[in-house]
Amino acid sequence: MAGHSHWANIKRKKEAQDKKKSAAFSKAAKLILTAIKEGGINPDTNNALRLAIAYAKQVKMPNSNIERLIKKQSNKDLSQYKEYIYEALYHNIPILIRALSDNTNRTINDLKQVLNVYGARLVEKGAVSWQFSNVGLIKIALQEDNVEELELKILDLIEAIDFKNVKESNQNLLFVYVAKDKLKEYTDILQKANLNVIDSRLFYNFTGAKPEINNDIKDKLLELKEQLLSIDDVTDIWTAIE
């Protein structure tokens, strides 16, 4: 029995590791595809793609996978893709959904299918977006124990609006919020300062009154976000609840 218990524990650990690895690979693939749709397949001129590839290598995605993703996109007419921001409500919780699409009918149908399962719905433009402010977000992998020291170093280099210490995909990150029109400039500065920038993008920060919800609704909201992000066209989700 002891041996069986040991085997069961090993199996559970292996399944958990495989799940984390799969999630990290999926995130890396989406970052690469999104970056290509926004700025093309050349990492020398597409900073977002360069960051996405760096992240993919950081989570140990095989080079063959990365090359296959880029080659697949190189055969597509990426000029047809445009950015859309969709607004939704789930139990009066505001949701913003960013998509890059070449077919809005397909994207909207995919969104409605997922939202309907959870009793959520799309709402008209401006219905919830007024509760969010659009800023730039730079994500830095933490390599120092003293986070405050790192924040001071960053403030010597750029004008940051705010910082947040976040654990994402089992990785400790420092979120650096900046003015959206300074995002590219500040990302370049932090990279040249040899900080481990793993992502840089526009971000919608919720500034309204946070709704009170129970744990069940919070768990369902997390499920909804995951399902929405699994849609090919969807690149980002922002809600009133972190």
Per-residue pLDDT of the chain (242 residues; tens, 9 = 90+): 555 676 677 667 777 666 677 777 888 888 888 888 888 888 888 888 888 898 888 888 999 999 988 888 877 777 788 889 999 999 999 999 999 888 999 999 999 999 999 999 999 999 999 999 999 999 998 876 678 889 999 999 999 999 998 887 677 899 999 999 999 999 999 999 999 898 898 899 999 998 889 999 999 999 999 999 989 889 899 999 87
Counting every residue, how long is the chain?
242
167, part of any domain: no
**3-class SS of residue 241:** coil
Is 228 found in the same domain as 124?
yes
Question: pTM of the entire structure?
Answer: 0.78
In contact, 140 and 196? CB cutoff 8 Å: yes
Is 39 found in the same domain as 100?
no
Contacts of 55 (CB under 8 A, 6+ apart): 27, 28, 31, 198, 199
185, part of any domain: no
Number of structural domains, the chain?
2
Boundaries of domain holding 234: 79-130+208-239
Nearest Cα to Cα of residue 133 among 186, 202, 78? 202
User: What DSSP character marks residue 80?
Assistant: G
Is 51 found in the same domain as 87?
no
Is 104 found in the same domain as 63?
no
Q: Cα separations (Å) of 3 from 10, 13, 17?
A: 11, 15, 21
Q: Which of 78, 104, 121 is the last residue of a domain?
A: 78
Question: Alpha-carbon torsion 165, 215, 224, 58, what sign?
Answer: positive
Q: Which of 12, 43, 78 is the last residue of a domain?
A: 78
